[in-house]
Chains A and B, each alone.
Chain A
């Protein structure tokens, strides 16, 4: 399991979303789960909009 603590992340732009999507695929390729901790409401909403939260 790979844990990413987003405690200090209040905003995420397109490049940040891309980096997160890349981390997700990398984790998947090595058979690991990517777990996000302390996701702010704003970032959570972005993940929902981009459908990244459901994968």
Chain B
């Protein structure tokens, strides 16, 4: 693999034998906070030995100075920035930017990349991926506060980059759809992303997500880890027989009541399913992000709306992203009010 240097740093693909040094780097940065990557075996077994993971490291003078990792989601041919850090004494010289630039470049060069998604937790990281790397990301919303870091729930932004891979992206725009046509979505998401689309019919699928298909599993499939500190659940599909969107939304809310310890719910609804989205918003969900081309079916890609619901009074922390979080919350909420008036 080609190597690059930034301020004397050499960037290369991580090897399994880098695991102890990567773990040591996480130990140095996270100190008393818990983080799975502080354990060398976790890094080597879960990350480096798994070919869905792409990890790059930087080194200088024989010592690791930073790392960045992406995870492939084959179900929708997306890559996600999952982890990244630089050694504190190596910050401020463009190392994080170089790592981000090179990691995304490797992802785009792969045969399996139609879009890249990132969840920057700070304004600094947001600026790096939107302004300092090429092609730049577009911030499309926030995650409603899924993650817990150092015992504190915090907002992460949602940022996308679409259509710079080897294959062209066939994006279908929902026909006569008020959400997609909303000025805010057009101005803040569609135009900056510069992803073309053609009007067309959407499939009957309600919820987009990576899920195991099994006749006994449903009517809602989910991703939930009972002992994860975030107490969050992702609804990944509806597999039941109903077709009334309000009835399905009601069933979902009832199902969620059985997950007593869940504090954060998220799901990506296909953008044309406005009645379903409205019904969930009436039950406490909010539109957190608009995700163009997120759902993939038979080679075509369909827009989705990220819906989130947080059931805790605790207001998540932000790391300089509050203005953007509020901006998108207000912008997407405006659509709901307009719809109610019409």
Of the listed residues A14, A19, A28, the one surrounded by the most CB atoms of chain B closer than 10 A to its CB is A14
- Asked if B243 lies at the interface with its beta carbon under 8 angstroms from chain A, I say no
Instruction: For the complex, count residues of A whose C-beta is within 8 A of B.
Output: 23
- Asked if A38 lies at the interface with its beta carbon under 8 angstroms from chain B, I say no
- Asked if B254 lies at the interface with its beta carbon under 8 angstroms from chain A, I say yes
**Interface on chain A toward B: helix, strand, loop, or mixed SS?**
helix
Task: Determine whether the beta carbon of B219 is less than 8 Å from that of A14.
Answer: yes
Task: Determine whether the beta carbon of B226 is less than 8 Å from that of A45.
Answer: no
Which listed residue, A19, A46, A52, touches B216 by the CB 8 Å rule?
A46
- Asked if A32 lies at the interface with its beta carbon under 8 angstroms from chain B, I say no
Complex-state Cα separation, A18 to B162, whole angstroms = 35
Stretch of B139-147, B255-263, B298-306, B333-341 lying at the A interface: B255-263
Q: A45-B216, A46-B217 are in contact. Are A14 and B255 (CB under 8 A)?
A: yes
Which listed residue, A15, A28, A42, touches B258 by the CB 8 Å rule?
A15
Distance (whole angstroms) from the CB of B202 to the closest CB of chain A: 24
One digit per residue, 1 when the CB lies within 8 angstroms of any chain A CB and 0 when it does not, for chain B 236-270 equals 00000000000000000011111111000000000
Task: Determine whether the beta carbon of A15 is less than 8 Å from that of B254.
Answer: yes
Task: Determine whether the beta carbon of A25 is less than 8 Å from that of B227.
Answer: yes
Task: Determine whether the beta carbon of A14 is less than 8 Å from that of B227.
Answer: no
Which listed residue, A15, A25, A49, touches B226 by the CB 8 Å rule?
A25
Find the B residue at minimum CB distance from A23. Answer: B260
Task: Determine whether the beta carbon of B227 is less than 8 Å from that of A50.
Answer: no
Which residues from 20 to 55 on chain A have a C-beta closer than 8 Å to any C-beta of chain B?
Answer: 21-22, 24-26, 28, 42, 45-46, 49-52, 55
Contact-size category for B? 20 to 34
- Asked if B214 lies at the interface with its beta carbon under 8 angstroms from chain A, I say yes
Which listed residue, A12, A14, A15, touches B221 by the CB 8 Å rule?
A14
Complex-state Cα separation, A11 to B221, whole angstroms = 15
Task: Determine whether the beta carbon of A22 is less than 8 Å from that of B259.
Answer: yes
Task: Determine whether the beta carbon of A49 is less than 8 Å from that of B259.
Answer: no
- Asked if B187 lies at the interface with its beta carbon under 8 angstroms from chain A, I say no
Task: Determine whether the beta carbon of A15 is less than 8 Å from that of B255.
Answer: yes
Task: Determine whether the beta carbon of A19 is less than 8 Å from that of B226.
Answer: no
- Asked if B220 lies at the interface with its beta carbon under 8 angstroms from chain A, I say yes
Contacts of B227 in A (CB 8 A): 25, 28, 55
Task: Determine whether the beta carbon of B259 is less than 8 Å from that of A13.
Answer: no
Task: Determine whether the beta carbon of A18 is less than 8 Å from that of B255.
Answer: yes
Contacts of A24 in B (CB 8 A): 226
Distance (whole angstroms) from the CB of A38 to the closest CB of chain B: 17
Which listed residue, B221, B226, B254, touches A21 by the CB 8 Å rule?
B226
Complex-state Cα separation, A24 to B258, whole angstroms = 12
Complex-state Cα separation, A11 to B215, whole angstroms = 11
Find the B residue at minimum CB distance from A18. Answer: B258
- Asked if B225 lies at the interface with its beta carbon under 8 angstroms from chain A, I say yes
Contacts of A18 in B (CB 8 A): 255-260
Of the listed residues B217, B218, B222, B256, the one surrounded by the most CB atoms of chain A closer than 10 A to its CB is B217
- Asked if B30 lies at the interface with its beta carbon under 8 angstroms from chain A, I say no
Contacts of A55 in B (CB 8 A): 225-227
Complex-state Cα separation, A13 to B146, whole angstroms = 25
26 contacts between A and B (CB under 8 A): A14-B219, A14-B222, A14-B255, A17-B258, A18-B256, A18-B257, A18-B258, A18-B259, A18-B260, A21-B226, A21-B259, A21-B261, A22-B261, A25-B226, A25-B227, A25-B260, A25-B261, A26-B260, A28-B226, A42-B216, A49-B214, A49-B217, A50-B217, A50-B222, A55-B225, A55-B226
Q: Top 6 nearest A-B pairs by Cβ distance?
A: A18-B258, A18-B259, A22-B260, A14-B220, A15-B258, A19-B258
